[in-house]
Amino acid sequence: MPVKLAARTPPCFFRQMTPRGTTRTPGADPTRLPTGLDLRAVSLAEGVRACLATALPVAVAVWLGAPSLSLSALGALLTCIVDPGGPLRRRLPLLLAFVVLGAALLGGFGMVRRTGIVLTLCAAFPALFATGFLRVWGAPAQALGNILAVLLLLGADDPLTAAQAARVAGLFAAGGTWSLLLAVALWRIHPFGPARRAVADTWHALARLARMSLTLIEDERRARRRSDAAWDAQARAGRGAVRAAIETARAILMATADRRGAASGPAVQNLLRLEAADQLFAAMTALSDQTEHADPATQSACLALLRRLRPLLALMAAATESERHRDQKRFERALAAMQGHAQACRTLAPLADIIAERLRVAARLVEPAQYLPGSGQEGDAGIPWRQRLAAPAAANWHLGSASLRHAVRVAAVTTLCLGATLVRHGRYSHWLTITLVLVMQPFFATTWQRTLERVGGTLLGGVAAAGLSLMLHTRLYLAALLPALGGVALAVRQVSYGVYIAVYTPVIILLVEQARPQDDQIGIALARAGYTIAGGLIAVAANLLLWPAWQPEQVRRDLSRAIAAHAAYAAAVLRQDGEDAARERRLAGLASNNLEASLQRAMHEPRRGQRNRLQAVLAADATLRRISARLTAIALSGTPLPSDTAAWVVQALQSLADGAPAPPRPAGSGPAGSGPAGSGLEQVDRLASQIDFLRATLLRGASS
């Protein structure tokens, strides 16, 4: 269904449903930064562990009257932050590396600082480059690199003798080792817990998609008007979030299988659960395609189906996470009622049967199954570790790599600012360079977002710390509060970066005050706020001036890849190859998600001349989502298709991906809906009309 090229804002009801995206689910509106709160990301287990890890070092420091022992609490807290979670054999090498390297950097750069500023800067540049380049090995390595850079900057703050450096490194290592032992002793009980929760998150995303569709149809019927922008937003936010959740779960499952053994029972069961969710997602996508702007009878049947489906999906999410199905008979009755609502509608009945069948399969996989293959030998079943290390580095070791340019930018700017702060030394000036390291990202939009969140969180946290200083008048109370705040900070760190910083800032201020009792909290808070604002502004300026990776060029490349992926999906569907179609559907969904991520970053860049072209890409993305839904509906229906028009669909999409003119439509294929309802001709004609609109959209965008 065509959509207007001009910018359109989704209706108010949809913006209320998805007011702002989050880091995991960027949302429907790419013009808004994804700074929303992801409340499902709260982790009580992480919070409790961080509280326990910091409580012991703080208690020892208070009991012995040795404020410097608070450095052990810092080591324990940072080790908790670096811990990526998951199977122990995956976490242990990274945590050990952090404790050893962190202690070495903290003490070693204190000794280097004693030799002079020039040698300190010469040593800092390659070390900062290395910590910035670690991101090519994934999110856990990126977190490790960020915290190691922070410790490097803290170590370079004051010159230390060899004895002092050894003491500082020993205290930090003691706290980190205590936190590591806590993880080994207590956080290895449920090695498959992260994988199971990731699959449950997929079912939660499916439930949210059903809720979006339900609300969208209700509002459209109430307003008695079509809302193309709302359907586009639903596809972008809802389907994009489900695909992202599926791929996140898939990555966690593969990592768990590598470490625990691919043939283990829980690993196989989790993979089957995820496959059932992915197949149900395909049916829900086809359901959306059949319902969009459908006749009132079809929409009424779909409303009844979705009202039954949404609670069933939420139930599956809870049952998957707890591995317990509470009421199987009630579940079956609800499934039968859902199918009954759709039986009167010839279009929706087959899709309702597929959805019900997938839910029944998923329900049978809820309980821990004894009939699945037994636990195999643990060990690496995947790529050798040398190849896992060498391949990402080789792939990014060129100037075209955003990660390499980012590492050079971080090293250059931070080294210059480090030199300035060492020459004009201030007690808390390291917070400027620390802010630089933590907020600077490969792309301008993400740097801008991280700067806003860090500055806002720091200001809010500084106010909270000042309030605590007025209410708590003894250091014993403050020491008791510190572990609790550290636990809360770790519990909410995935909810929102701004919220995390707002809670984490009082923790740092309390730790500093424990180590330096002569300083007052208000002065510490003001210093942290000032240096954070300065560091954020410098980071934004660096992204603008030094090797900027402007997104419009990346958007064009991602658009071509997305169209090519949909061409491959169309080819698999139209030749009725079910196995290839499932694989290509996944790749097409990933390509659309990548396009939307690039588009969102581009929307926040200060290059206003690109706005019209980006709006054209936004319309093209919405059309690709419609094409994917139509292809999924065709694949699930099994309707035979006219060969000449089907071949044209694939050729036209591939030509658009290559930037070449699309071939003319074959003679005899009329406008959308020209064939009998539900026939192969009607299906392909609607698909062809969407491709015609995609071609027109790309032409307008190229001319703008």
**Helix orientation angle between 349-364 and 296-322, rounded to the nearest 10 degrees:** 10
Distance CA 615, CA 491 (A): 38
Structure tokens at 255: 């990592």
pLDDT at 175: 93
How many angstroms separate the Cα of 702 from the Cα of each of 1, 583, 697?
A: 21, 31, 9
pLDDT at 317: 87
Distance from chain centroid for Cα 618: 21
Tell me: the pLDDT tens digits for 209-255?
888 888 888 887 777 666 677 778 777 878 888 888 888 888 887 77
> Looking at this protein, which amino acid is placed at residue 257?
A
**Helix orientation angle between 611-637 and 578-603, rounded to the nearest 10 degrees:** 160
Least Cα distance to 650 among 556, 566, 592, 561 occurs for: 566
Other Cβ atoms less than 10 A from the Cβ of 524: the count is: 24
pLDDT at 127: 96
Distance CA 310, CA 314 (A): 6
Going by the DSSP 8-state scheme, the letter that residue 382 receives in this structure is: S
Distance CA 611, CA 646 (A): 34
Q: Are residues 513 and 521 in contact, defined by beta-carbon separation less than 8 angstroms? A: yes
Domain ranges of the chain: 39-189+402-545, 192-364, 551-703
Q: Would you list the DSSP string of 9-58? A: PPPHHHHHHSSS--SSS--S-TTS------GGG--HHHHHHHHHHHHHHH
Q: Would you list the DSSP string of 414-450? A: HHHHHHHHHHT--TTTHHHHHHHHHH--SSHHHHHHH
pLDDT at 512: 65
pTM above 0.85, yes or no: no
pLDDT at 267: 67
Distance CA 44, CA 48 (A): 6
Q: Which residues of the chain have pLDDT under 50?
A: 1-18, 189, 260-263, 369-382, 670-677
